[in-house]
């Protein structure tokens, strides 16, 4: 049993996958295996892996038909033999040769959930770099109320985490946009602890081909997933003003101003707190909602008026 299984859900983009594999090949830490679950409809990923079989242990699985995200993530993880699971997307890569060693050095018996700082890197030529560090002010907040992660994903994408194989939670295959945040919420509700490494260990590739670009501010995705989260965790979670604000921003950005618009995307009964929130949004001029500070003020008034419905 290797200490760490590096699980890579792949789909065609071999120019990105090659960079990831090259970053794995130079790791100073060697007690790992690589599991590739391939959703491609061609052999490009399989052919690329031939060049790496002499460099590290690779287990390859071809999905026919393709599973899609996040089912492909769960499938790859299910094939892992390691004590710890390191999921990493094919367009992300390790930031340095000692990244995996640093992850391994932070393994302990106390915490089954580990994550690091990371850097967002735009993949187009001349793209910008944005370093992401976990805010110290959120250290206890995500333990006290993990649902705050649904308002702001301060942990990052799945590529930055390392989890012990004893964790039973899986990525919810009904979701695409909030799938990582939902996973972290359930994980922290179960574990109630984590280890954070304040060093950039992973580069996260940002490109137009990512699933998140289709999902972002798309009411066909965001509203059904939001409704699913309400079913999973309950509308009473909006008592947390961070979660309330997340819903306010979602409805504002989707231009949802009444119950009829809500049922257009989810034909079920919405919680009264959400319906009332749409009515509050309708009363505010769109020109004012476009200013962040104004929107926050109106959100706060809405929260105070709506608390009896939560």
Q: What integer pLDDT is reported at residue 239 of this predicted model?
A: 93
pLDDT computed for residue 309 by the predictor = 79
Structurally, the chain folds into a number of domains equal to: 2
Q: What is the pTM of this model?
A: 0.93
Q: What is the pLDDT of residue 310?
A: 83
State whether 162 and 270 are in the same domain: no
Question: Could you give the CA distance from residue 110 to residue 241 in angstroms, rounded to a whole number?
Answer: 31
Q: Given 193, 212, 231, which residue is the final one in a domain?
A: 212
Say yes or no: 259 and 228 in one domain: yes
Q: State the residue range of the domain holding 130.
A: 4-212
From 171, 193, 212, the end of a domain falls on: 212
CB neighbour list of residue 179: distance below 8 Å, 6 or more residues apart: 69, 70, 171, 172
pLDDT at residue 211, as a whole number:
59
pLDDT at position 223 is: 95
Final residue in a domain of this structure, among 167, 186, 212: 212
If asked whether residues 121 and 235 sit together in one domain, one would say no
Residues of the chain with pLDDT under 50: none
Residues 90 and 138 occupy one common structural domain: yes
Q: What is the CATH number of the domain that holds 199?
A: 3.90.550.10
Distance CA 29, CA 136 (A): 29
Domain identity same for 222 and 207 = no
Tell me whether residue 22 is exposed, middle or buried, using C-beta atoms within 10 angstroms of its C-beta: 0 to 12, 13 to 18, 19 or more. Answer: middle
Q: Which is nearest to 178 in space by CA: 233, 260, 123? A: 233
172, 197: one domain: yes
Cβ atoms < 10 Å from Cβ of 33: 19
Domain identity same for 231 and 195: no
Q: Strands, E, within 183-280: which ranges?
A: 195-206
């Amino acid at each position: 049993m290797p200490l760490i299984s590096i699980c890579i859900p792949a789909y065609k983009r071999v120019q990105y996958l090659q960079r990831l594999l090259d970053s794995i090949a130079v790791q100073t830490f060697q007690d790992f295996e690589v599991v590739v679950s391939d959703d491609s409809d061609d052999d490009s990923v399989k052919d690329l892996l031939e060049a790496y079989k002499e460099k590290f242990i690779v287990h390859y699985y071809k999905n026919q038909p393709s599973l899609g995200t996040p089912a492909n993530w769960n499938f790859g993880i299910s094939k892992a033999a390691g004590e710890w699971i390191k999921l990493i997307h094919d367009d992300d890569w390790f930031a340095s040769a000692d990244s995996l060693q640093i992850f391994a050095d932070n393994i302990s018996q106390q915490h089954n959930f580990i994550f690091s700082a990371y850097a967002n890197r735009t993949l187009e030529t001349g793209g910008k770099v944005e370093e992401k560090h976990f805010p110290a002010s959120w250290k206890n907040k995500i333990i006290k109320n993990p649902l705050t992660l649904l308002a702001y994903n301060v942990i990052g994408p799945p590529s930055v985490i390392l989890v012990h194989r004893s964790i039973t939670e899986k990525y919810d295959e009904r979701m695409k946009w909030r799938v990582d945040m939902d996973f972290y919420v359930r994980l922290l509700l179960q574990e109630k602890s984590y280890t954070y490494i304040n060093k950039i260990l992973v580069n996260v590739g940002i490109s137009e081909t990512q699933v998140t670009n289709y999902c972002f501010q798309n009411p066909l995705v965001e509203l059904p997933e939001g409704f699913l989260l309400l079913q999973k965790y309950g509308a009473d979670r909006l008592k947390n003003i961070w979660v309330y604000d997340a819903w306010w921003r979602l409805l504002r950005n989707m231009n949802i101003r009444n119950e009829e618009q809500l049922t257009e995307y989810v034909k079920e009964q919405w919680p009264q707190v959400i319906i009332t929130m749409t009515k509050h949004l309708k009363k505010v001029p769109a020109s004012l909602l476009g200013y962040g500070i104004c929107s926050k003020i109106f959100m706060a008034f809405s929260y105070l008026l709506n608390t009896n419905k939560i």
